[in-house]
């Protein structure tokens, strides 16, 4: 080769930040297949989150409680506004709705076992109530969804609360699609549809539109169940102030706000990553709405979307939530994306921790599948025990923080116990930026 060419200074190859490797790969994938990327889970992009908040702990003006000695309560009651039989939970962490169909029967059983041992509730999903979860869940929330798959008055009467799902954080404004690979005979029968077809879940309810109609729908549900059951209204993290206000106006006992990190069984990646707001941005507007209505603590607020640790729980409660709900974290506790199945994940073209093609039904961990061979890999008793352990650890962590802040109940945590590491988190959580007394958008700098 010409010596001049070898030694001539050259511009170093620079990858585009805009057209990154992953972006280009997605363009090529779309061009080759003609279909948008469908996946499970919640937003994977980095957004301001609970990690951007810190507790201040006790100091001269606050005294702490003794760990392991002085009591710090974790119990919470949901549904005190109208229901004859509110739900009493030992811990402020509930299990979010995940459908039978998206999850296997044994996985639903494990969620019920774990939640019951930990003293909390689990939730059905799009596809109806199974005997596995009713039988193993001491407290079961029955979702009332747009598709109404499997909906019936007998299950309404044997649930412990009803959750009217208006939206979810992964896809506010979107419905669902359960692909044919997971539509076994049992799933199809519960949904009144042919086996093996792609099943669409509607994005809005078939018999009501808007908050005025919802008020009447809630009246109907209360009348059918003789006003016994708490009625939750779940919304995606879209317009949390107004959504919470309207849910309360419609008669909700409990409002569930699910941020964009909240998972789904399957929807378009573009939807997950580009529609909805981060969980952290949803809490204070929702709390503000309740406070403006004089309903804070009378209508309970449940926050979900990316809750992973007791610290996340404590932060959500400190910002004004009454409880949190977990879905993705519960699945990981059961064994989802466990590195023990790395070779199987590799065979599917992915790796443990990144596997999100739950809709295809090939889950190596046997959780998001209806394949009997894969399902056999999952032990619901062991899974339930793992979930129980995880919930207990989260509760202990939240208690540890609450005691350090001098609180004898985790619900006594307050925004004044927090500061933020970033301007964005300070603005969203409405707590001061660390080292300052500045709350962006709220007070003068």
Partner 1 sequence: MQIFDLEDRGLRALNQTLHDQANDTNQTSWEIINPRGSHAIAVGLDAPIEVKIKGSTGYYCGGMNKQADILVEGSVGPGVAENMMSGTVVIEGDASQYAGATGRGGLLVIKGNASSRCGISMKGINIVVHGNIGHMSAFMAQSGNLVVLGDAGDALGDSLYEAQLFVRGTVKSLGADCVKKEMRAEHIALLQNLLDMAGADASPKEFTRYGSARQLYHFDIDNTGAY
Which residues in this chain contact partner 1 in the complex, by CB under 8 A? 33-35, 147-148, 151-153, 156, 177, 179-180, 191-194, 197-198, 200, 202, 206-208, 213, 216-217, 219-220, 223-227
Give, as one character, the DSSP assignment of residue 326: E
Rounded to a whole number of angstroms, the minimum distance from the CB of residue 134 to partner 1 is 18
- Compare residues 119 and 150 and give the one whose CB is closer to partner 1: 150
Rounded to a whole number of angstroms, the minimum distance from the CB of residue 203 to partner 1 is 11
Q: How far is CA 323 from CA 291, 314, 367, in A?
A: 16, 9, 26
Rounded to a whole number of angstroms, the minimum distance from the CB of residue 173 to partner 1 is 16
What angle (nearest 5°) sits at the alpha carbon of residue 19, between those of residues 349 and 350?
10
Quick one: three-class SS letters along 387-418? Answer: HHHHHHHHHHHHHHHHHHCCCCEHHHCCHHHE
- Compare residues 92 and 125 and give the one whose CB is closer to partner 1: 125
Rounded to a whole number of angstroms, the minimum distance from the CB of residue 205 to partner 1 is 9
* Contact call for residues 48 and 283 (beta carbons, < 8 A): no
Q: How far is CA 300 from CA 122, 274, 430, in A?
A: 17, 28, 20
Query: How do beta strands 76-78 and 87-89 pair?
Result: antiparallel
Task: Find the DSSP H helices in 100-209.
Answer: 105-118, 131-136, 153-158, 185-191
Residues 160 and 44: their CA atoms lie apart, in Å, by: 33
- Compare residues 164 and 307 and give the one whose CB is closer to partner 1: 164
Rounded to a whole number of angstroms, the minimum distance from the CB of residue 340 to partner 1 is 33
- Compare residues 30 and 347 and give the one whose CB is closer to partner 1: 30
Q: How far is CA 433 from CA 57, 211, 315, 402, in A?
A: 16, 37, 15, 21
- Compare residues 45 and 189 and give the one whose CB is closer to partner 1: 189
Neighbours of 445 (CB within 10 A): 8
Give, as one character, the DSSP assignment of residue 335: T
- Compare residues 250 and 289 and give the one whose CB is closer to partner 1: 250
Rounded to a whole number of angstroms, the minimum distance from the CB of residue 208 to partner 1 is 7
- Compare residues 57 and 194 and give the one whose CB is closer to partner 1: 194
Q: Is residue 28 classed as helix, strand or coil in its secondary structure?
A: helix
Bridge partners (DSSP) listed for residue 55: 418
Rounded to a whole number of angstroms, the minimum distance from the CB of residue 191 to partner 1 is 8
Q: Among 343, 345, 309, 334, which Cα is nearest to 324's? A: 309
Rounded to a whole number of angstroms, the minimum distance from the CB of residue 44 to partner 1 is 23
- Compare residues 173 and 180 and give the one whose CB is closer to partner 1: 180
Residues 120 and 376: their CA atoms lie apart, in Å, by: 27
């Amino acid at each position: 080769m010409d010596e001049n060419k070898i030694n001539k200074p050259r511009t170093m190859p620079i990858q585009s930040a805009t057209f990154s490797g992953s972006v280009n790969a997605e363009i090529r994938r779309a061009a080759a297949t003609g279909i948008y990327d469908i996946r499970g889970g919640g937003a994977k992009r980095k957004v301001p989150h609970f990690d951007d908040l810190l507790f201040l702990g006790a100091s001269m003006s606050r005294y702490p409680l003794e760990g392991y000695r002085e009591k710090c309560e974790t119990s919470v009651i949901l549904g005190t506004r109208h229901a004859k039989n509110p739900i009493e939970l030992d811990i402020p962490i509930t299990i979010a709705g995940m459908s039978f169909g998206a999850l296997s029967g044994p996985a639903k059983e494990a969620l019920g076992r774990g939640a019951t041992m930990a003293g909390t509730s689990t939730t059905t999903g799009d596809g109806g109530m199974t005997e596995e979860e009713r039988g193993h869940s001491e407290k079961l929330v029955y979702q009332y969804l747009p598709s109404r798959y499997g909906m019936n008055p007998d299950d309404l009467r044997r649930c412990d609360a009803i959750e009217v799902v208006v939206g979810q954080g992964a896809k506010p404004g979107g419905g669902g699609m359960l692909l044919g690979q997971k539509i076994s005979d049992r799933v199809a029968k519960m949904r009144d549809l042919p086996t093996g077809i792609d099943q669409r879940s509607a994005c809005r309810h078939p018999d009501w539109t808007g908050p005025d109609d919802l008020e009447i729908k809630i009246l109907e549900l209360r009348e059918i169940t003789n006003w016994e059951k708490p009625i939750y209204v779940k919304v995606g993290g879209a317009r949390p102030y107004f959504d919470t206000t309207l849910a309360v106006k419609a008669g909700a006992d409990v409002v569930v706000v699910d941020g964009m990190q909240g998972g789904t069984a399957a929807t378009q990646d573009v939807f997950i990553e580009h529609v909805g707001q981060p969980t952290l941005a949803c809490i204070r507007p929702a709390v503000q709405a309740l406070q403006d209505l004089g309903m804070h603590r009378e209508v309970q607020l449940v926050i979900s979307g990316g809750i992973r640790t007791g610290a996340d729980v404590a932060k959500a409660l400190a910002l004004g939530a009454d409880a949190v709900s977990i879905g993705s974290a519960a699945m990981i506790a059961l064994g989802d994306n466990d590195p023990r199945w790395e070779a199987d994940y590799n065979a599917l073209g992915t790796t443990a921790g990144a596997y999100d093609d739950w809709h295809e039904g090939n889950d190596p961990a046997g959780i998001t599948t209806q394949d009997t061979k894969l399902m056999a890999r999952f032990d619901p008793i062991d899974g339930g025990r793992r979930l129980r352990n995880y919930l207990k650890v989260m509760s202990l962590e939240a208690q540890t923080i609450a005691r350090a802040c001098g609180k004898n109940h985790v619900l006594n945590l307050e925004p004044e116990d927090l500061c933020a590491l970033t301007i964005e988190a300070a603005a969203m959580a409405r707590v001061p930026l660390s080292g300052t007394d500045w709350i962006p958008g709220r007070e003068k700098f």
